[in-house]
Amino acid sequence: MVSQNTTVTDDWNRWFKWANRFDQAMAFSFYGLIFFLPISIAMVEWFTGLSLLFFILKRGCHFRILFQEDGSRKKSASNLYRLFVQAFNLPSTSLNPWVWYWCGICLFSSFFSPFFKVSLIGFLGKILQNVFLFFNFYEAIRDRKRINAFIGVWCFSVGLIVISGLVQYFTGEDFLRHRIVEDGRLSSSLRAPNDFGVYLVTIFPFLITSVMQMFAPRENGVPFQQPGIKRSILKIALPIFLIALVICIGLTFSRGSWLACGMCLAFMVFQDKKLVKWVLPMGGVFFVVFTMKMLDDRSHANMLSLLSTFGRSSYWREGFNMLRDYPLTGVGINAYSLVGR
């Protein structure tokens, strides 16, 4: 009897170890995903698939453990279904209701789309994939150690494409994807300057608040500190990183990215009025310097063109027309370009 119990315990331990290994593999998949996000779409797809695969394998181990623990019960179909649902149940978060509301709205729009098949494929292949990726991420990256590791990999990846962007500015070609400068605008490893600007804007709020916290008096809060890195090194590295990132945002000549940075700074000033004496001069210098640079480098640009939409008004008009024609149901998923033809 003791030998049988020992065997069962060893079997449980083995499955628990495999579940932990798959959990670690999920986390590493997200590290790879965030690293390659601005570099290679193919690698992003690979790591996305791996994260979902390891999620399924981990939950499969949980099912095996529950199956063993339930050994005294009859293995009926209903009981197996109960164990399966229990093992593969998605993590519970405060966002769960809103995620499912969003899925319901997307599915509703797909059913009433003029391109039902295209929209349904988009719902199954894009919306649901992103939903499961969200729950997967929540389960894999949830403790402080993994969050810090994820942020570290993200910062390293952004730093790499920032350096590649600066190299592109001085040599005319980035060293990651060998993309050349077009119309004086930096794109680094991304397909377009606007893509580069938008990606950098995602980390700009985190980086600027980290720098501010780094130099803030200790009585104003806990100083920013990344585990394993000396504070003196961060005091030098973070400001340099921020300056290089802001230069790259400026050299994308993406007015949308500039506006997003401005809105971020405006929100910071709204939260702390004392920042206005720093934000206004720096924002003004940024706007003047890079506006003059854009007018100098882009042959077709002038002061009047700064207020133009560069042909985007037709796309905006199409969007408003779709809202007018499909006010309740929308046009579905992946059907915008088809309806707009």
Tell me, what's the pLDDT at 307?
56
**Residue 148 belongs to some domain of the structure:** no
Tell me, what's the pLDDT at 227?
55
pLDDT tens figures, 167-212:
999 999 999 999 999 888 999 999 999 999 999 999 999 999 888 8
**In this structure, are 173 and 248 located in the same domain?**
yes
**In this structure, are 191 and 100 located in the same domain?**
no
Distance CA 302, CA 311 (A): 15
**In this structure, are 163 and 261 located in the same domain?**
yes
**Residue 79 belongs to some domain of the structure:** yes
**In this structure, are 290 and 197 located in the same domain?**
yes
The model carries a pTM of 0.85
**Residue 334 belongs to some domain of the structure:** yes
**In this structure, are 78 and 162 located in the same domain?**
no
**In this structure, are 285 and 164 located in the same domain?**
yes
**In this structure, are 172 and 294 located in the same domain?**
yes
Q: Which domain-ending residue is among 89, 108, 130? A: 89
Helix, strand, coil abundance in the chain, percent, nearest 5:
75, 0, 25
**In this structure, are 314 and 335 located in the same domain?**
yes
pLDDT tens figures, 302-331:
555 555 556 667 777 887 888 888 888 888
Spatial CB neighbours of 93, under 8 Å, sequence gap ≥ 6: 135, 138
Q: Which of 140, 126, 123 is nearest to 33 (CA)?
A: 140
**Residue 239 belongs to some domain of the structure:** yes
For the range 5-10, what are the long-range contacts, defined as Cβ-Cβ under 8 Å and sequence gap of 24 or more?
Answer: 8/68
**In this structure, are 161 and 264 located in the same domain?**
yes
**317: Cα within 13 Å, side-chain hemisphere:** 6
Specify the residue for token string 């340099």. 240
Distance CA 106, CA 331 (A): 10
Is 27 within 8 Å of 141 (Cβ atoms)?
Answer: yes
**In this structure, are 81 and 99 located in the same domain?**
no
Spatial CB neighbours of 74, under 8 Å, sequence gap ≥ 6: none
Q: Is the backbone of residue 190 left (phi > 0), alpha (psi -120 to 50) or beta?
A: beta
Is 229 within 8 Å of 289 (Cβ atoms)?
Answer: no
**In this structure, are 176 and 255 located in the same domain?**
yes
**Residue 20 belongs to some domain of the structure:** yes
**Residue 304 belongs to some domain of the structure:** no
DSSP state of 223: P
Core vs surface per residue 262-277: b (16+ CB within 10 A) or e:
eebbeebbeeeeeeee
How many structural domains is the chain composed of? 3
**Residue 303 belongs to some domain of the structure:** no
pLDDT of the chain, 341 residues: tens digit per residue:
445 556 556 677 888 899 999 999 999 999 999 999 999 999 999 999 999 999 999 999 999 888 887 765 556 778 888 888 888 888 888 999 999 999 999 999 999 888 889 999 999 988 998 999 999 999 999 889 999 999 999 999 999 999 999 999 999 999 999 999 988 899 999 999 999 999 999 999 999 988 888 776 655 545 555 555 666 778 888 899 999 999 999 999 998 999 999 999 999 888 888 888 888 899 899 999 998 888 886 655 555 555 555 666 777 788 788 888 888 888 888 887 777 66
Question: How many DSSP H helices and E strands does the chain contain?
Answer: 13, 0
User: First CA to last CA across the chain, in angstroms?
Assistant: 74
**Residue 151 belongs to some domain of the structure:** no
Tell me, what's the pLDDT at 1?
47
* Residue range(s) defining the domain that contains residue 226: 157-298
**In this structure, are 129 and 74 located in the same domain?**
no
Q: Coil, strand or helix: which one is 173?
A: strand
Calculate the CA 75 to chain-centre distance.
42
